[in-house]
Amino acid sequence: MKEKEDYNYSNKIMASFGARELFHQWVFAAFGFSVFFFYENVIGLPSLTAALAFVLYSIWNAVNDPFLGWLIEKINMPWENKNYKRFPWIIIAVPPFLLSYLLIYMVPTEWYATPSLAVQNQWLIFAWYLGTLCFYDTMVTLYEVNHTALYIDKFRNQSERRTTQGYGTILGILGLALAAIIPPIFIGDNTLIPAGYKTAAWVTLGGGVLLFLFVIPGIYEDDKLKKYYQQRKDLEGKVELEPFIKSTLNIFREKRFRLKITHFFGYQVGGVMIQTSALYISTYILGMGADGITLLLGAMLLGALISVPVWTKLSHKVNNNRKLGIYGCSLLFITFLPLIFLSTLIGWIIAMIAFGIGIGANWFIDPPLMGDVLDDITVRTGKTQYSTFYGIQALIIKIGQTFIAVTIGLSHALTGYDEGAATQTPLALFGIRIHTAIVPAILMLITLLIFWKYYDLTPNMVSENKRKLKDMKL
């Protein structure tokens, strides 16, 4: 059931919107590469204590992320009277978002200048870690909920969504590449010296400001979008949002949304686990320091980059987002397997190119999948309160980060990992492989089978939902 769909926006606007992937991968990847390694090995926080901070952080997320998504839909800001909705929120969120990232690395030096001081001030360091993580999370959620909801509002048809995400995937790969190359330069060969991480954090903040400038034209709510907002208001009338707890429970009752975020959780944990483990692999398995990150992640990004045009073309030809999601997850699972055994740089580079092809598929197909699910919910409920759903998805991202931190903490605690040591025992090296490949491969297989078995939005159903949305003038 294919039909020609006219684009409402130019390629420049779609590319600018896609540049949000460039911006946030630049920051998120830098965070993923270094934050746990920094607190565990550079500052000297014990593995399980560092993991505990992420557990408490996830409790904060469990309330903060859904609540912010709900609150954004609940309150009526002054700019909504002029039919702005998402753009002002994004502009407000970005400066404190970047500042909060910097603060994570600005632990007072006098707290950990010597190993004995780090032990003495362990809980002060823990409090700084947890507090800055929660501040960072709040600002990230405020930014992400509005930006991702704007994707559904602004790009209304399948072809436009896929093309926009095609740009986004390529630019996201570029952002990840920049994060893998530039900040590690300032960390240097000795990954156990704290000053380099603080300099790298300043560089990430400054680069984030510059990269966000490319995003502004794409996220601006123009007259065309304002007209759509007004039309939606006229059709929906004043829709009272349910109370927070009831609204959240109703979201979790949506079977297709649950399956979508299950798929999302699997590949997100897999992709970010590699990023978080990169310093451990480079430092202890390959013995290369921070330079190894550039080679490993560069190989992954090369694979993702060369695959994006293929996935984009295939998506238009197959016209089946469910099938593309299954292909991507299957490939990603297979490429985890050799990472359990590899020990040479060449072997890792080849395996990471293959891994990048799989991760590229999932990066590409995720937003169109979410669009299908939210369109389906809108048809059945008549509501377009997307922020509440993206608040839950933001929570899933943070739960994934906590899952990664706990996995690393337990792997290290159970295998005798020595925090801050120059070398590790063979058992501790196996612990690194546990959190790099074994656990994410198992998780990837489980989430893939659940999604394949139960997710049932077929191309015919998606097409019928598009027709109904047109009839509803939504």
Average pLDDT on 359-371 reads 84
Q: Provide the number of structural domains found in the chain.
A: 1
pLDDT band (50, 70, 90) for residue 452:
very high
282 domain-assigned: yes
Average pLDDT on 161-188 reads 83
Average pLDDT on 163-167 reads 83
3 domain-assigned: no
Residue 111 has pLDDT above 80, yes or no: yes
Residue 442, token pair as written in the block: 């198992």
Average pLDDT on 105-130 reads 90
Q: For the chain, what is the largest distance between any 2 Cα atoms, rounded to a whole number of angstroms?
A: 69
Given this model, what pLDDT does residue 4 score? Answer: 47
359 domain-assigned: yes
pTM of the model: 0.72
Residue 3 has pLDDT above 60, yes or no: no
Distance, CA of 170 to CA of 175 (rounded, Å)? 9
Instruction: Read off the pLDDT of residues 308-322 as tens digits, 9 standing for 90 and up.
Output: 888 888 887 888 989
CATH of the domain at 287: 1.20.1250.20
Q: For residue 18, give its domain range.
A: 12-471
80 domain-assigned: yes
7 domain-assigned: no
Residue 96 has pLDDT above 90, yes or no: yes
Share of the chain above pLDDT 70, in %: 95
Among 304-313, 348-357, 377-386, 435-444, the range scoring the smallest mean pLDDT is 377-386
Residue 420 has pLDDT above 50, yes or no: yes
2 domain-assigned: no
Residue 23 has pLDDT above 90, yes or no: yes
Average pLDDT on 46-61 reads 84
Instruction: Read off the pLDDT of residues 318-357 as tens digits, 9 standing for 90 and up.
Output: 889 899 999 989 999 999 999 999 989 899 999 999 988 9
6 domain-assigned: no
Given this model, what pLDDT does residue 124 score? Answer: 93
5 domain-assigned: no
Given this model, what pLDDT does residue 6 score? Answer: 59
Given this model, what pLDDT does residue 382 score? Answer: 75
